[in-house]
Amino acid sequence: MKFVAIEPLGIKEESLREMAARALPKDAEIVLYRTRAADAEELIRRGRDADVIAAANQPLSAEVINGCENLKLLSIAFTGVDHIALDACRSKGITVCNSAGYSTAAVADLVFGMLISLERKLAECGEAVRAGKTREGLVGSELEGKRFGVVGTGEIGLRVARIAGAFGCEVLAYSRTEKDVPGIRYTGLPELLSVCDIVSLHVPLTGQTRGMIGEKELGLMKREAVLVNTARGPLVDGRALAQALREGRIGGAAVDVFDAEPPLSEDEPLLYAPRTVLAPHVGFATKEALYKRALIVTDNVRKWLAGTPQNVVQR
C-alpha cells in the first residue's frame, strides 16, 4: 500500500510521517511532498500509483483523478471539497473523506478578530499612534446589543452564534436545517439581512449557495451593517459588495475568502473598497488547527482500512 501526501499539510514532516505510520500497515510506503504541484501533469506523476492520497486545498480535477490509476481513498485536509472532482471519484469508486471540525475554533476566532478590528478601527488606530495623532475620528462601536445574523448553523456557525451571545448580541440564524439551540432565533434570509447589524456567512459552496449574497441581498442590509465572509468567496458577488461599500450602502465588510486563492489579481474589486478588513484565507490557519486536521486525515485512513470509514463525503 502506498500513501501520498500530495502537498504539504502545514505541520512538521516528521510529525505527519509518525501519524501516517500509526494509521497504515507496517509495510506501507509513505511519500510526503514538500511543495504544491504546479500542474495536473505533476499531480498525476505524484499520485499515479498511490492507493491513498491526502490533499488540502490543491484542486484535483477529473484529469488528475483519472490519472491516479490505483487511487481508492482521498483524505482531504479541508472541510469543503468543492475543489475535488467528485463525479470522477464516484465513477471510479473512490471514497472521499474530509476533515470536518478541525478549524471550528480557528475560524470562529477570526470572525471576531476581524469584526472587532473593523468596528474598533484598529488598523487606523495603529496608524494614528505611529503618526503622533490622537483618537480624534476613531470612535468605534461595541458588539453588545447588536443583532448578529448567522447564515448556516453547522459547527462553525453554532460556535460563532454562542460567542456572539456571550458578547451580548441578539442572535438570529438562517439555515437549511434548523436546530433547537437556546439563544438562537431562526428566520428567513431576507428578514435576517434586513434587521441584523452583523451578518456572518458559514455555509458550504454548492450550486444553491453560490452567489447567495448579491446586489439584491446587499440592498436589503442596513446602511450600518457589516458582512463577514470566512466561508467561501463565491458565496458573495464581490463586485456588488465593493460597489455597496463605495456607495456607503452598507457599513463594512470583513473578508477572508475570495473567488480565487491569494495572491489576488490587481483587478479584485474588494482590494480598493473602503471600510474593509481583508485576510488572505487564514481562517483555518492556526498551529492548533493544522495539527488537528493532520490527525483527522490519518485517522480517516485508519478507519477506512478497518472497514469503518468516517467523515465520508462520498463513497
Ordered strands of the 312-314 beta sheet: 29-32, 2-5, 52-55, 73-76, 95-97, 312-314
Domain shared by 116 and 212, yes or no: yes
d(CA 196, CA 313): 33
Domain shared by 270 and 299, yes or no: no
- Cell 458573495 appears where? 236
Catalytic residue among 281, 288, 293, 315: 281
d(CA 276, CA 207): 27
Is residue 45 within 8 Å of residue 72, measured between CB atoms?
no
Whole-number pLDDT of residue 314: 87
Domain shared by 269 and 296, yes or no: no
Low-confidence ranges of the chain (pLDDT < 50): none
Domain shared by 55 and 145, yes or no: no
User: 74 is in which domain, residue-wise?
Assistant: 2-102+286-314
Catalytic residue list contains 261: yes
Q: What's the CATH number where 265 sits?
A: 3.40.50.720
Domain shared by 62 and 141, yes or no: no
Domain shared by 95 and 149, yes or no: no
Whole-number pLDDT of residue 172: 98
Domain shared by 111 and 147, yes or no: yes
The bridge status of strand 147-151 relative to strand 95-97 is unpaired
* b (16+ CB within 10 A) / e for 272-309: ebeebbbbebbbbbbeebbbbbbbbbbbbbbbbbeeeb
Catalytic residue among 41, 142, 261, 288: 261
d(CA 258, CA 279): 10
Domain shared by 120 and 178, yes or no: yes
Please give the helix or strand (H or E) that residue 54 lies within, else none: strand 52-55
Catalytic residue list contains 232: yes
| Number of domains the chain is built from | 2
User: Residue 267 burial by CB count (10 A; 0-12/13-18/19+): exposed, middle or buried?
Assistant: exposed
Catalytic residue list contains 202: no
Catalytic residue among 202, 232, 268, 293: 232
Kindly report the length of the chain: 315
Is residue 96 within 8 Å of residue 313, measured between CB atoms?
yes
Domain shared by 74 and 202, yes or no: no
Domain shared by 53 and 162, yes or no: no
Domain shared by 144 and 290, yes or no: no
C-beta atoms surrounding 233 within 10 Å? 19
The cell numbers describing 203, all together, are: 455555509
pTM for the model: 0.90
Domain shared by 124 and 211, yes or no: yes
